[in-house]
Amino acid sequence: MRRARPSIALPVMGILLVVAIVVATGFGAENIPLGEVVGVLRSRLGGQPSANLGLDTIVWQLRVPRTILAAVVGAGLAVAGVAMQTLVRNALADPYLLGVSSGAGVGAAAVITSGLFAGAGLWALSAGALAGALAAAAAVFLIAMAQGGLDPLRLVLTGTVLGSAFSAFSSFLIFRSSDPSAAQSVLFWLLGSLAGADWTRILLPACVVAAALVALLLAANSLDALNLGADTATSIGVSVRELRIALFVLLAVLVGVLVAVSGGIGFVGLVIPHAARLLVGPRHRVLLPASALCGALFLVVADAATRILVRPTEIPVGVLTGLIGAPAFLLLLGRRSYRFGAA
């Protein structure tokens, strides 16, 4: 497969993303014609609400924030997937490897079953999930450091084992709950959903994703070196220990925030980085923005599909990403020409 030139691929993906956001805004329990969506967006971007207040509410207050949040979360998970695969030098690594998703599940289960963070109102579930995610990442970090450092194998094993323990603990919280709907509520959240999106929930994840992308781009050369192995990176002057710690902290915060606002959306951070490598190659300076655009585009389309496949209800977006991601990843594995990290 011939790789696309980044100067062409990145602008094309950016245009496709904008088009997908506009088109996806029209889909829902009731489809809205594209012309009416564009009219509302033109009015709002011009500083005025649409003359049709009902349509304005549906498009601008409900669907646009959700679609933008889908783009932000998709971009963030894809970028986190690239960084995680580089950190542990493992093609099967995804953003949830550190046990962050399982820890967030414990926090979410605690909120749903015991009313923890009740004072936070509508933010209670996100606050509990974020606290659980960061606590899980801290536990993985402290245990790995106590056992000798953040080498790839130790991180993979520690994250996997603690993730299983956290999942068991969240199941225990559900089992002990007197609320018969607790299990369903936690399961729906863990499968991922963007249904609660509004303008107030976009700013934090958008800022965190943007900051993480900029930080990783600034360290792109060091990440390229780390991808070749710790010995190679050290030989050219990269401080591998400090780089691994910085990557770990960045990933913990990034993934924790994303899981807190969207739940556990699988396969985006695993499959999209590999697809982007096939498209533009493994150099992080182009791989990171390509992954961000591909991830954003993929999740915007997937979220729109969840709203129309079983209307008037919707399925968790994590279910659809899993159904698409699993065969897509198998197809990638079947390409003999593809090698993880190959130049």
CATH of domain 6-333: 1.10.3470.10
Q: Is the pLDDT of residue 296 over 70?
A: yes
Poorest-pLDDT segment among 33-42, 112-121, 127-136, 154-163:
112-121
Q: What is the pLDDT of residue 70?
A: 96
Q: pLDDT of 111-129, one tens digit each?
A: 888 776 666 555 788 888 8
234's CB contacts (< 8 A; 6+ apart) are 240
Q: How far apart are CA 192 and CA 264, in angstroms?
A: 5
Domain spans of the chain?
6-333
Q: Which amino acid is at 214?
A: V
**What is the spatial distance between Cα 139 and Cα 221, in angstroms, rounded to a whole number?**
29
Mean pLDDT value across residues 87-114: 86
3-13 residue pLDDT tens: 668 778 899 99
pLDDT in tens, 323-337: 888 888 777 766 655
Mean pLDDT of 64-85: 96
Residue 138 to residue 153: CA distance in whole angstroms:
18
CA nearest neighbour of 97 among 213, 224, 248, 242? 248
Residue 22 confidence (pLDDT) above 90: yes
Cα(155)–Cα(167) distance, rounded to whole angstroms?
18
Q: How confident is the model at residue 209 (pLDDT cuts 50, 70, 90)?
A: very high
Selection from 25-34, 57-66, 179-188, 315-324 with the highest mean pLDDT: 57-66
Condensed to tens digits (0 to 9), the pLDDT of residues 226-275 reads: 998 888 899 999 999 999 999 999 999 999 999 989 988 988 999 999 99
Please tell me the pTM assigned to this model. 0.91
